[in-house]
């Protein structure tokens, strides 16, 4: 269930170690190699003992047929069987060690991914759109939302706790409008099939896409079950085809889905505690692709353009960066981030990640395809991207489209979804 099978690791150990080192991850290579060597030695001994048991069993049968005493040989075979049983148990222990370590190894970065340590080493690919010219001090989106009566974080905190949003009136309308606008764009103009998946998934589904076992602390688990609230629609949508064999003519497959997303935000204490940027519950429209291996990087560029078009149609300024090796997600071979401009903070903030996982998720989820006229199967490549994070888009509209009188201009592309409303005002 891992892209980097033990055979691949052993045959490419130097390159694998270097690639994982560039990502800043630390793997117990010695324990992995020792367990694999032990496994090979145990298999050889088991094979020899089984051969011996077969030979001697035939001899015992022959001795009994001739009326000869076979007690000594029978006792020897009991010892051999006992030894095989012990070795089988030891083999299982070593297999478990190998599997546990392999499941901790992230995907290998594509050769085009820049080497770097963290987000400070992510190069900017392009910047799109002019920054808004505001002859006044821009307000933060949480202040704008509360002044307009369309966001209420205090009541949300009483209902649930910190980092949960409550949208009211025209705010609820705009959130819903954004979801419908994004889905319509991706379905009608980009060729995606709309999906409405379950919002709860099992452990296997999260393991297939790479959230488990490493990132369990980031998830909300339902007590007493093997179910989890989804952190992203990527999980249920990618698992639509787990353990299936697709046909070459089926590919590529494009899916888009709106879902709420649930994240514990473990390790983010003190970061973005106000507003809509880092919530425990948020809405997102996701894009997922299943492609042939030779096409996946062209498909990644197209996926990125599909996500960018949302911001272009809304008139929001943004930039595109490539994630360096040290900032790359666990399952990704290459990722572009789209960052939208937030005037109140004077910074660009992530609003979408578009990633090619190559066959990493497909191996874990056993998603394959068969080429026309050929025997055997190959693993598909999977890709996904946010198209977009809805709450962050909402926040970006409030900040970039705010006016000096406290009102917010509704982007033209969104007005048909908001009863032709041109602005939100007091």
Mention every residue, 6+ apart, whose C-beta is less than 8 A from residue 238: 208, 209, 288, 361, 365, 382, 384
d(CA 87, CA 131): 68
User: Measured on CA atoms in the order 61, 67, 68, 72, is the torsion positive or negative?
Assistant: positive
Among candidate residues 226, 222, 223, 213, the one with its CA nearest the CA of residue 262:
222
Mention every residue, 6+ apart, whose C-beta is less than 8 A from residue 52: 80
Q: How far lies 100's CA from each of 35, 73, 173, 281, 328, in Å?
A: 11, 40, 46, 31, 21
* 3-class DSSP state of 341: strand
Angle at 243 between CA 369 and CA 245, to 5 degrees: 20
Catalytic residues: 263, 278, 350, 353, 392
- The one-character DSSP state at 166 is -
Token pair listed for 276: 């809509």
d(CA 93, CA 86): 11
E strands in 144-299:
193-195, 200-202, 227-229, 245-247, 253-262, 281-291
Q: How far lies 230's CA from each of 83, 109, 152, 395, in Å?
A: 46, 26, 25, 22
């Amino acid at each position: 269930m891992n892209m980097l099978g033990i055979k691949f690791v052993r045959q490419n150990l130097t390159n694998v170690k270097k690639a994982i080192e560039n990502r800043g991850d630390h793997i117990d290579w010695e324990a992995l190699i020792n367990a694999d060597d032990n496994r090979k030695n145990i298999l050889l001994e088991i094979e020899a003992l089984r051969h011996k048991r077969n030979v001697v069993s035939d001899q015992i049968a022959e001795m009994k047929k001739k009326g000869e005493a076979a007690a000594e040989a029978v006792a020897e075979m009991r010892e051999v069987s006992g030894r095989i049983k012990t070795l089988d148990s030891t083999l299982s222990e070593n297999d478990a060690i190998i599997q546990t370590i392999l499941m901790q190894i992230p995907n290998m970065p594509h050769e085009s991914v820049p080497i770097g340590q963290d987000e400070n080493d992510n190069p900017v690919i392009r910047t799109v759109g002019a920054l808004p010219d505001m002859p006044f001090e821009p307000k933060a989106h949480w202040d704008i939302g509360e002044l307009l009566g369309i966001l209420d974080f205090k009541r949300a905190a009483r209902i649930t706790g910190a980092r949960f949003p409550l949208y009211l009136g025209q705010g609820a309308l705009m959130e819903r409008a954004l979801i419908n606008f994004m889905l319509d764009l991706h379905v009608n103009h980009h060729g995606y099939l709309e999906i409405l998946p379950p919002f709860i998934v099992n452990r296997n589904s999260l393991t297939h896409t790479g959230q488990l076992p490493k990132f369990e602390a980031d998830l909300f688990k339902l007590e007493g079950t093997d179910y989890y609230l989804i952190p992203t629609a990527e999980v249920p949508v990618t698992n639509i085809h787990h353990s299936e064999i697709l046909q070459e003519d089926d590919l590529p497959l494009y899916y888009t889905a709106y879902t709420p997303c649930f994240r514990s935000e473990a390790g983010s204490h003190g970061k973005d505690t106000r507003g809509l940027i880092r919530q425990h519950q948020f809405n997102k429209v996701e894009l997922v692709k299943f492609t042939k291996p030779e096409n996946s990087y062209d498909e990644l560029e197209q996926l990125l353009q599909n996500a960018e078009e949302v911001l272009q149609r809304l008139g929001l300024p943004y930039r595109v960066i490539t994630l360096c090796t040290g900032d790359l997600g666990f399952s990704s071979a290459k990722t572009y981030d789209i960052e939208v401009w937030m005037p109140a903070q004077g910074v660009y903030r992530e609003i979408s990640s578009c990633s090619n996982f190559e066959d990493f998720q497909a191996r874990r989820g056993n998603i394959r395809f068969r080429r026309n006229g050929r025997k055997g199967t190959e693993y598909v490549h999977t890709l996904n991207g946010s198209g977009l994070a809805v709450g962050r888009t909402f926040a970006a509209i409030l900040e970039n489209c705010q006016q000096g009188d406290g009102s917010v201009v509704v982007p033209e592309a969104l007005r048909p979804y908001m009863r032709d409303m041109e602005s939100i005002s007091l």
